[in-house]
Structure formats: structure tokens, C-alpha cells
Structure 1
């Protein structure tokens, strides 16, 4: 393992000469808000390295400079958490990137295919997963554990080249642009605490309840970040929902809630929550969050959505693209109700060309679905 800054700088200089490098990280997050980086694995066609970010005195700056080098494509599988780590520690987003999980969906390998499944399909190699649940913060790591970690980037080289070739042959490289732009956006990883409530399942409907949920969730987000502990260690989601519904205006009322541990209301956290509740309730009603109003669903729309699902599956199978990449259930609902006016990804760009136009024809009576033998097919009328 690379354990010094000089060795890391030398390796990064060699890696920077390649057109692409594959990258993976191993981290722990069970007891912290921010992931604790434990290993960095990188490979080019000519070099394979494992970096120990926990080594005493090591400076990861050469690694961050490599991540910022726009002449080198950074290849990840399911990139989001790896990029989040780089963003948090280095305050940058790797660019340009290529996510093999997303590319695999475009190339017909199914929805959210795992790394080992993809390696099996592309290379016919079975990855030994017995080291999967290693505590990567412990030292020393065994040869078996290091071999497992390195396999996450060595096989990825061949997977990347295969997917890249497939995308170019099918003229689908541009289809990944939108997805990669989301992964390269700082907003994807730098969520403002005031927006934390939007991650919670929308069980509440009243503006006052939503306002309290927003303020309490923002307090929890800031607290979890400052203490570097998981959100649930600060306050569980169920407690936020109960606080939003009951709206305790003092610590005594807070202490009566079922989800609040006995005596917790007398802590500084309890006082902060009561303060957040009262601040939320003091907002003018016009400034309180509103639940988006869904347009009226006409009779028969549910049946139309079912037909759109069938059409989506037919097109997905025909073109070898994961249905999830083309449209989701919300997209289909909106297309069924709003038609041409539906502002969803499925009605723009390559998705519209592949599916959106056919969907409009189906709901407009221009396409029929019929049985042909034991199969269903779409027929233009």
C-alpha cells in the first residue's frame, strides 16, 4: 500500500498519463455523518495502486489534483458515494466521470446492476465476496482483503472499455451526458440544511406541519454535521414527524411525546427543538412550505398508466435499455394525465425519441397493443 505523500505523488503522475483511470474507495459510515475514508484503489491500463489515507502524515493533495485533471476520465461504479467523499475531503468534484452502473443500464444490463454482476456478465469472472464486510479501518489488512479491494478497480478497466465500445457502436454515448452532469453537480452533494426535510417521506400535508418538519430537520442536519454523527443518533425520523404533528411549544409538551426519550426534553437539544417549532409557527402562512398539488386524475387514467408500463417494457426490451433509465412511475402518471404538456425527462431528448413519442401515440389512440402468439406487440393504427 502507498503510505507516503511522495509515493502517492509519483503514482498519480503515472496515472495522469492515461486516458482513463478506474477508482473505488472503501469507507466506514455506521457511526459518523461524514464517511471515514479508509482505502483508495486506482488503476490505469499500466498501473494498479492502493492508497492508505489513514497512514500517518500522508497528504492526499496529489490524489485530489488527479481527480481535478480534466484530461483523464475517472471511471467509477455507482459513483455517488465515492464522489461525495472526494467532495467532502477535497472540496472538488472529479471531472470528467464515467459511471459504469449508469452506462450498463443504457446498454441493457438491467436496472442498477451490481459490480460483481457486471464483471460476471462482461468478463465471466466470479468475484469472491467473502471480504465484503471487512472493517477497512483496521490495520494491517490481509493479502486477501487487499486483493479483494484491488479487484474493484482492475476488472473495472475491462468493464469500462466494453461499455464504452458498446455505447459508441450504438451511438448512445450522448445518452449518459445528463446523468453524468447530475453526478458532477455540487448541488448533488452539498445539500443545504434547510432542504433536509425534502429527504423525508412526505407523510404530512398541512403547511404548519411542513414548516415545523422543515425547521426541525434543518436543526438535526446542522447538529449531525457539527457532531459528525448519523442523523438518527441526533433525532429519529419518527420523532420529527410526531413533533411536526403535535407542535410542542414548550419543553413540557415536548416531554409528553411518545418518540422523545424520558428526560431528553430538559437537554439543550430539547430547548433547540422547541425554539425551532416556535420559529416555524411564527412564519406567515404564505411563507410556509406547500405540498405540491397534483392535477386531477381523470377516470381511466390508472388503466392508461398500466398500458404505458407495457409499452415501456416492450421498448426497453427491444432497444436493450433499462426501463428505469427511460421513465419512472411518476413520469408515466404525468404522461397519462397531461400528455404533451408533461414536463418529465421521458418527454425530452433521446428518451422522447425512444419512448415519449410512442407514449403520446398510445394515449392518443394511434398505437394499439395486441397479442401475437404468446407475445404482446405494439401496432400503429
Structure 2
């Protein structure tokens, strides 16, 4: 027998949205979700916004709404907790529509990880685990911008928020009397602080094998990545429609000077050469002549083999901390922690925490990890 959500209330005009936002502002918590399309665009195209309030489900049609300030005001109301699951892309949709994001935020996927139920749990699995409810997932890839939506789409979208507040209450109860609740709050707040960041200056540092390039080549790489990032946003197309990811390194390395030479670059499709070829050549030419003192410094090479044993030690120490704290290792260990720790040891002969490790993790991981590593170093590993 199919799981049936309550009959949703449609919100398809500005006045109705304002009226309901005023009602929701009196609640302790609301559930939120979005449906969107992101196949041929840089930014997500909103198709639907779902709101769970008490036992009711509301569907906001973003194709019909033009005044988003009431929802923005609700998002910024500190007295209403906004409950979402795995919300990073939802936050982008909300930022684009309303200019702001929901705060305070309670992400049930993160909360499940802090409660040690599992890392990166899908909503379907979480609902099964907590409420023993089987949620169908049969409309994930459907066209959410079509009108009218099908009955199956409406049912699917409604179910995504029907039980979300129950899940929130259960998880909050598990965490509220523990230090983990403050860690969760810290983590959820950090999610809301860098939605749709715009920093094309640093995009070049993420290109694989960039460490193999000389400073003159890195100047070209940086200029190409800047253009790729800004043009993708301006044209609202995926980055690979501007310059394919696999073309960036060879373009910087070989610096072609003619359209025919671009055709020799891996992944450079004819459509890209037709639309952006001349511009790419101009960027390469200009960046290749940047004075030496203005070029980026060389990137450090991969860590040497003698650092691998230390990497294993770091992972083992953090794994032990995760077991003691009863949280998943993946939650405790942020990206790019091991490498900067090892580089600090290689450069200075002792371990120090990178500035990128902040918040609750720095407090929890930091002192014991650094003390143990430096003690091991003094004893000769």
C-alpha cells in the first residue's frame, strides 16, 4: 500500500505566501525542502519549495511567486528552527530566490552523523531507521519545472517534508543533553556562511598536477581558471561548457597560440573552440607575459614516501578519537587536514594545526592530536 502524505496546500501567489509566512513565524520549527533542475545551468533552477508546518504540507510554486521578502524574513527569524536534510544545494536555491538562507538551521543528515547513526545517511534510510517508514524515491530525476506536475511528483515532494519534523524531534532529543548539540549547531551555522561563494582567484589551486607547472605556466592556469569560473556564472552554464576540466592543465602547459593548436588539446570540443577559442588564446597570450614578480609561486609537490607512515599514524589517532567521541571518522576529520599537518612537520620539524581547522573540530581534535604527534616525533616515531 503506498505511503500517503496529507493533501498539500498550494501557494501560487505573493499574498498567500505572505499570509502563511506570518503564520509559520509563530512556530518553533518548520521543515523545508526544494526540488530543482541543474543539468544545463551553473545555478539550480527552482521547481518547487516544500514546507512542513505541524501536520500540514505546503507547496510553494516558484514559477508563480515574484515577491520573496516574506520568506526571507521568515528565514532570518531566530525563533523558528528550519529543518532540512542534506541541505547544501537547497541553500543555494534559497539564496538565489530570497537573497538569504534559513537560520537557525538543523540539518538532519548532520544530526544523524553526530548521533552516530551513520555518515551521510540518505533521507530514505534515516526515515526507515527512526520511524520505520519506507519512503519511495521514484521521482528524483523528473522535470520539476513542468506544469502541471504529475500526481507522483506531488506525492514524492510532499513526503519529503511530511515526517521531517518527527525526525528532527527524535534526533534533537538524542543530542540536546550532550556536547554534540553545540557541535551540530556550529556545523549547521557554518553551512549557511558560504553559500554560493564567489572566489575565482583561487580556482587554479584545485587543478590536478598544478604542482608540476612553472610559475609562468601557473600564471596562465590562474587566468584560465578565473575566466572559466566567471564566464560560467555570467552565462549560467556548467563550467565544462566554458573550458573542460581536463583541458586546463594542458592549456597552461603547452600554451597554444592558434585555433588549430587548440584542437590538439585534450577534451577541447569544437563547440567550445567556436564560442570561446579566440578568447582563450587571448587569455593565454596575456597571462604568459605577466612579469615574474606577479606570478603565483610554485605549488609544493606531493608528499614524499617517508610521510606516508605519519599519515597512517594521524589517521589512527583521529580514528581512536572518533571511537571515543562516538561519531563517524568522516565527520571528525575535515578535508585536507592530513596533508597540511605533514607539511608543517616537513617544513618545521614539528606538527602544528592548519588555520583551516576551525570551530569545534579545532577544539576537539587539536590539542590531543598535536601533543601525541609531537611526543611521538621526540621519541623518534
Residue 316 of structure 1 is matched in structure 2 by 322
Whole-Å separation in 1 of the counterparts to 2:148 and 2:302? 59
**Pair 253,312 (structure 1): closer, same or farther in 2 beyond 3 Å:** same
Residue 35 of structure 1 is matched in structure 2 by 44
Q: Does 1:363 align with 2:363?
A: no
Q: Does 1:246 align with 2:257?
A: no
**Pair 98,200 (structure 1): closer, same or farther in 2 beyond 3 Å:** farther
Offset, 1:247:
1.0
Q: Does 1:234 align with 2:242?
A: yes
Whole-Å separation in 2 of the counterparts to 1:183 and 1:327? 16
Matches within 5 A, 1:250-269: 250-262=258-270, 265=273, 267=274, 269=276
2:353 to 342, 351, 356: 342
TM-score (norm 2): 0.84
Tell me if the contact between 1:327 and 1:345 (Cα under 8 Å) persists in the aligned partners.
no
**Pair 38,262 (structure 1): closer, same or farther in 2 beyond 3 Å:** closer
**Pair 263,74 (structure 1): closer, same or farther in 2 beyond 3 Å:** closer
Question: Any unmatched runs of 5+ in structure 1?
Answer: 367-381
Offset, 1:268:
5.5
Offset, 1:38:
0.2
Whole-Å separation in 2 of the counterparts to 1:7 and 1:32? 30
Tell me if the contact between 1:255 and 1:264 (Cα under 8 Å) persists in the aligned partners.
no
Q: Deviations over 1:171-221 (max 9, x none)?
A: 222213442333222x44131333333454354432222221221122222
1:210 to 218, 232, 238: 218
Matches within 5 A, 1:162-177: 162-177=170-185
TM-score (norm 1): 0.84
Q: Does 1:22 align with 2:31?
A: yes
Q: Kindly tell me the number of residue pairs found equivalent between the two proteins.
A: 362
Question: Any unmatched runs of 5+ in structure 2?
Answer: 1-9, 377-381
Q: Does 1:307 align with 2:313?
A: yes
Q: Deviations over 1:300-337 (max 9, x none)?
A: x4223323323333332332211122224742455466
Q: Does 1:6 align with 2:6?
A: no
Report the 3-state secondary structure (helix = DSSP H, G, I; strand = E; otherwise coil) of the residue aligned with 1:43.
strand
Report the 3-state secondary structure (helix = DSSP H, G, I; strand = E; otherwise coil) of the residue aligned with 1:30.
coil
Offset, 1:29:
0.5
Whole-Å separation in 2 of the counterparts to 1:145 and 1:93? 25
Report the 3-state secondary structure (helix = DSSP H, G, I; strand = E; otherwise coil) of the residue aligned with 1:25.
strand
Whole-Å separation in 1 of the counterparts to 2:206 and 2:125? 29
Offset, 1:262:
4.8
Residue 156 of structure 2 is matched in structure 1 by 148
Offset, 1:291:
4.3
